[in-house]
C-alpha cells in the first residue's frame, strides 16, 4: 500500500467539479469525503445547459487540453446515455469559424464543418458534441463516487483550517469568493426557460449583433432555452421579462418554439474568474490545499481534465 492509498482527502464543494475530482481520487485509491453545503440537485451545476464546448474560459491552451480529455470521457459515457444522461447530438455553433477551431478541435472532431445557409443564417459551425442532461448525470456521478468508496456529507465550511484532513481540495466555485477569500471570483447570472420540445432534435447557440445570446438544447422530454450572462448579478429569482425575451430570441431562430408550453424556469450563477485556479498551496501544519475553481460556465466542459490534474496535485502531496 503506497501513501496515496492511505491519504485521506476532503473535497469541499459538491457541484460537478467537486464530484468529478472526488471520483477520480477515489478511483485512484484515496479515501475521499465530499463536504457540500447543498445536495447535488441544488448546486449551480444542476442548472447547467449543458453543452460540451470550451466557452469563455482561461487560460485558453490549458482549457482546451482539459476539455479534450473531458470529451474522451463523455464520448465513452454516451454509450450508456440512458444511465449517464450524456448524448452526442448534432447542432450549430453560431458565430464560430473553422479558423477559431483549427488545430485543436478540427483534428479531434472530424464532423466539424461550416454551416450551410439552410442550417444557419450567419456564419457558424456544424458539430456533433456531447449534450449532458444534468438531472441524470449528477445523480449518476454521485452514485459512481459512492460505489468507489467515497462519502458525501452535508456540511458548511467557513474556513479551510477547520477541515481536518492531510489534503483538502477546494472545489467551492462561487463560494471561493468568501472562503479563500478570492474577490476575483464573480457571479455571472444565467437564466433558462424549460419548454415542451416541439420536435427539435438539434441544438443551437447564437449571439446577435447586440451581444444577446440565444441557445436551445434538446433534452429527454423537454427543450432548454437560454440564455443570459449578467456579471455581478446575484439574484436566483427568475425574471419574467428576461424569460419572455429568451423565448422570443429562440423563436426567431426556430418559429415552432414560440408556442411551446413552458415547464419551468432555472437560474444559476456561474463562478467566473479571469483564469481557472488549479494549483497547490501549503497550509499550516504541513497540510495541503489544492484549489480547483473559477471555471465559469465551462465547468462541465473541463471537469474531467481538471479533476485528473487536481488529483495529481493531491496525490503528490501524500507521496
Spans of all domains in the chain: 3-318
When pLDDT is cut at 50, 70 and 90, the band that residue 237 belongs to is: very high
pLDDT at 119 over 70: yes
Q: Helix, strand, or coil here: 242?
A: helix
Flag whether 300 is marked binding. Answer: yes
Mean pLDDT, residues 222-246 taken together? 97
Flag whether 270 is marked binding. Answer: yes
Flag whether 299 is marked binding. Answer: yes
Flag whether 157 is marked binding. Answer: yes
Strands 222-226, 213-219: pairing is: antiparallel
Q: Which of 179, 248, 260, 163 is nearest to 214 (CA)?
A: 248
Cell of 76: 465513452
Flag whether 202 is marked binding. Answer: no
Mean pLDDT, residues 86-91 taken together? 98
Alpha carbon of 190 to those of 35, 59, 118, 225, 306: distances in Å?
25, 22, 29, 11, 23
- Residue 9 in contact with residue 168, Cβ under 8 Å? yes
Flag whether 297 is marked binding. Answer: yes
Q: What pLDDT sits at residue 214?
A: 97
Q: What pLDDT sits at residue 174?
A: 97
pLDDT at 319 over 60: no
When pLDDT is cut at 50, 70 and 90, the band that residue 318 belongs to is: low
- Residue 128 in contact with residue 109, Cβ under 8 Å? yes
Flag whether 172 is marked binding. Answer: yes
When pLDDT is cut at 50, 70 and 90, the band that residue 161 belongs to is: confident
Angle in degrees, 0-180, between the axes of helices 299-318 and 16-27, rounded to the nearest 10: 40
pLDDT at 196 over 90: yes
- CATH topology for 3-318 is Rossmann fold (3.40.50)
When pLDDT is cut at 50, 70 and 90, the band that residue 101 belongs to is: confident
Residue 138 DSSP class: H
Residue 51 DSSP class: B
Higher per-residue pLDDT: 57 or 1: 57
Q: Rounded to an integer, what distance in angstroms lies between the CA atom of residue 30 and that of residue 178?
A: 28
When pLDDT is cut at 50, 70 and 90, the band that residue 7 belongs to is: low
- Residue 128 in contact with residue 10, Cβ under 8 Å? no
Q: Rounded to an integer, what distance in angstroms lies between the CA atom of residue 228 and that of residue 249?
A: 11
Alpha carbon of 39 to those of 19, 155, 249, 258: distances in Å?
11, 10, 33, 34
Backbone CA torsion sign across 21, 72, 204, 256: negative
Mean pLDDT, residues 98-114 taken together? 89
Flag whether 120 is marked binding. Answer: no
Flag whether 55 is marked binding. Answer: no
Cell of 252: 426567431
Flag whether 296 is marked binding. Answer: yes
Find the range with the poorest average confidence among 13-17, 180-184, 192-196, 206-210.
206-210
Flag whether 44 is marked binding. Answer: yes
Mean pLDDT estimate for the chain: 94
pLDDT at 211 over 90: no
Q: Rounded to an integer, what distance in angstroms lies between the CA atom of residue 86 and that of residue 28?
A: 23
Give the H/E segment covering residue 312: helix 299-318
Strands 203-207, 151-154: pairing is: unpaired
- Residue 170 in contact with residue 14, Cβ under 8 Å? no
Mean pLDDT, residues 188-192 taken together? 97
First-residue to last-residue Cα distance in the chain: 11
Q: Rounded to an integer, what distance in angstroms lies between the CA atom of residue 26 and that of residue 73?
A: 17
Q: Helix, strand, or coil here: 69?
A: helix
Amino acid at each position: 500500500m503506497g501513501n496515496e492509498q492511505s491519504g485521506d482527502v476532503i473535497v469541499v464543494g459538491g457541484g460537478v467539479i467537486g464530484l468529478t475530482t472526488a471520483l477520480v481520487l477515489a478511483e485512484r485509491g484515496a479515501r475521499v469525503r465530499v463536504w457540500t453545503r447543498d445536495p447535488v440537485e441544488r448546486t449551480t451545476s444542476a442548472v447547467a445547459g449543458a453543452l460540451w464546448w470550451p466557452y469563455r474560459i482561461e487560460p485558453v491552451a490549458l482549457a482546451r487540453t482539459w476539455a479534450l480529455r473531458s470529451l474522451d470521457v463523455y464520448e465513452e459515457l454516451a454509450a450508456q446515455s440512458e444511465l449517464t444522461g450524456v448524448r452526442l447530438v448534432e447542432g450549430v455553433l453560431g458565430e464560430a469559424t473553422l479558423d477559431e477551431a483549427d488545430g485543436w478541435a478540427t483534428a479531434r472532431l472530424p464532423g466539424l464543418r461550416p454551416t450551410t445557409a439552410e442550417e444557419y443564417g450567419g456564419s457558424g459551425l456544424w458539430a456533433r458534441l456531447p449534450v449532458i442532461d444534468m438531472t441524470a448525470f449528477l445523480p449518476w456521478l454521485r452514485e459512481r463516487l459512492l460505489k468507489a468508496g467515497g462519502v458525501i456529507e452535508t456540511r458548511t465550511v467557513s474556513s479551510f483550517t477547520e477541515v481536518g484532513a492531510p489534503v483538502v481540495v477546494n472545489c467551492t466555485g462561487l463560494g471561493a469568493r468568501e472562503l479563500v477569500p478570492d474577490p476575483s471570483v464573480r457571479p455571472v447570472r444565467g437564466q433558462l426557460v424549460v419548454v415542451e420540445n416541439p420536435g427539435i432534435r438539434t441544438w443551437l447557440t447564437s449571439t446577435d449583433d447586440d451581444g444577446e445570446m440565444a441557445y436551445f438544447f434538446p433534452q429527454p422530454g423537454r427543450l432548454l432555452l437560454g440564455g443570459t450572462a449578467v456579471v455581478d448579478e446575484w439574484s436566483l429569482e427568475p425574471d419574467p421579462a428576461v424569460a419572455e425575451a429568451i423565448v422570443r430570441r429562440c423563436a426567431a431562430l426556430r418559429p415552432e418554439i414560440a408556442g411551446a408550453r413552458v415547464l419551468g424556469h432555472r437560474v444559476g450563477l456561474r463562478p467566473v474568474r479571469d483564469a481557472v485556479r488549479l494549483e497547490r498551496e501549503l497550509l499550516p501544519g504541513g497540510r495541503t490545499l489544492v484549489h480547483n475553481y473559477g471555471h465559469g460556465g465551462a465547468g462541465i466542459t473541463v471537469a474531467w481534465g481538471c479533476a485528473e490534474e487536481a488529483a495529481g496535485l493531491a496525490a503528490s502531496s501524500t507521496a
